[in-house]
Structure 1
Amino acid sequence: MTVQTTVPSPVRIGLELIAVDKDAPLQLDLRLESVSEGVLVSGTVSAPTTGECARCLTALRGDVAIDLTELFAYPASATDETTEDDELPRVTSDGGADTVNLEQSVIDAIGLVLPFSPVCDPDCAGLCPECGVPLATAEPGHHHDTIDPRWAKLAALREQIGDDS
């Protein structure tokens, strides 16, 4: 059986800097097959992502697509009996119909492919550590004259002497 549908994301899926937002459309293109030990779900899941660059904090928009392959064990099967409860998802009976819950499988798979530190460009220079201006939009040669704190009092004294003369 094949399933092609779009459903809203049940929760925010991802990391601090990049994620699939809650209620974002998840496009599912899946094949469900009955095998001897359970139901094998395979296919792709894709969704839009939003976030910000880890270096310059520019807003990012993109897409994520994952290949999903997950076995859902039948109750009382050899696989069900030989695996821990949290090791493998299970087929559940809901009102006489067997169902599989893909939510945790999709969350885990998307979380694994999203970058931990997304960047807007591999060569992103980030922000100026002194003033916070994005270096990509700063004027050429952007810099700040900083005085070594050990010489700060002497520099202040020099300015006073320079102002009096």
Structure 2
Amino acid sequence: MSRARAAATQRQPRSVLAFDVSRLGRRPGSMTTITETVASPIRIGLDLLAIEAGAPLDLDLRLESVSEGVLVTGSVTAPTAGECSRCLTPMTSTVRIDLTELYAYPDSATEQSSEEGEVGHVVDDTVDLEQAIIDAVGLELPLSPVCSPDCQGLCPQCGIVMADAEPGHSHELIDPRWAKLADLKVVDPSQDSE
């Protein structure tokens, strides 16, 4: 394999969320935009609600060369799927996140002065937005999603969805401490005159 081909192979993006910034150079003010839809490479989100792997991610981004690196700004919109935390019914929605991320050039003052993981890095003339999107989606999605604000959840005794239950649905419960007394037959003394 020739050196030029080997170099071109190394510069191929590692994922659908890694973008080549070699055309920006290190000229502050150079800019390019990305407006496209890509498939989510992995499931992104929380336990009960997430962007499924393969779901469309609508990217509307601006990549701008600044003195210390590449500044990525814009938004990502995607459909989410999951289940209600109260009644466990399937639910879908849409999440939109706004990104403002700096990716530092190798050997820049920002890279040298920032702590590990504080800023992203330009690696082999690419910026990988995957971790930034994962972090932003995790902060945007609710920890306990509900299908509606007034969802009553499930009946704690029989497990039926309360929205589907008949009006006045309830179960007569006996306190377990008194349950043995319920087995005793009550005798009315006025009936015992025989």
Task: State whether TM-score is above 0.5.
Answer: yes
In 1, Cα distance between equivalents of 2:58 and 2:42 = 15
Partner SS state of residue 182, structure 2: helix
Number of residue pairs matched? 156
Deviations 1:31-88 (A, max 9, x none): 0000001000000001110011111111110110001110000111110110123111
Unpaired runs of 5+ residues, structure 2, are 1-31, 188-194
Residue 22 of structure 1: how far off its partner (Å): 1.0
In 2, Cα distance between equivalents of 1:38 and 1:64 = 28
2:101 alignment counterpart: 70
Residue 30 of structure 1: how far off its partner (Å): 0.3
Does the alignment pair 1:131 with 2:158?
A: yes
Among residues 12, 29, 48, which one is paired with 2:79 in the alignment? 48
Partner SS state of residue 95, structure 2: strand
Unpaired runs of 5+ residues, structure 1, are none
Does the alignment pair 1:153 with 2:153?
A: no
Equivalence map 1:114-125=2 (5 Å) = 114-125=141-152
AA aligned to 2:60 is: D
In 2, Cα distance between equivalents of 1:66 and 1:123 = 26
Among residues 37, 41, 65, which one is paired with 1:10 in the alignment? 41
Residue 157 of structure 1: how far off its partner (Å): 2.6
Partner SS state of residue 100, structure 1: strand
Among residues 64, 68, 86, which one is paired with 2:117 in the alignment? 86
Among residues 136, 139, 155, which one is paired with 1:109 in the alignment? 136
In 1, Cα distance between equivalents of 2:103 and 2:77 = 21
TM-score normalized with structure 2 length = 0.78
In 2, Cα distance between equivalents of 1:61 and 1:152 = 44
In 2, Cα distance between equivalents of 1:157 and 1:21 = 57
Question: How high is the sequence identity, in percent, across the aligned residues?
Answer: 63
Q: Superposition RMSD on alpha carbons, in Å?
A: 1.2
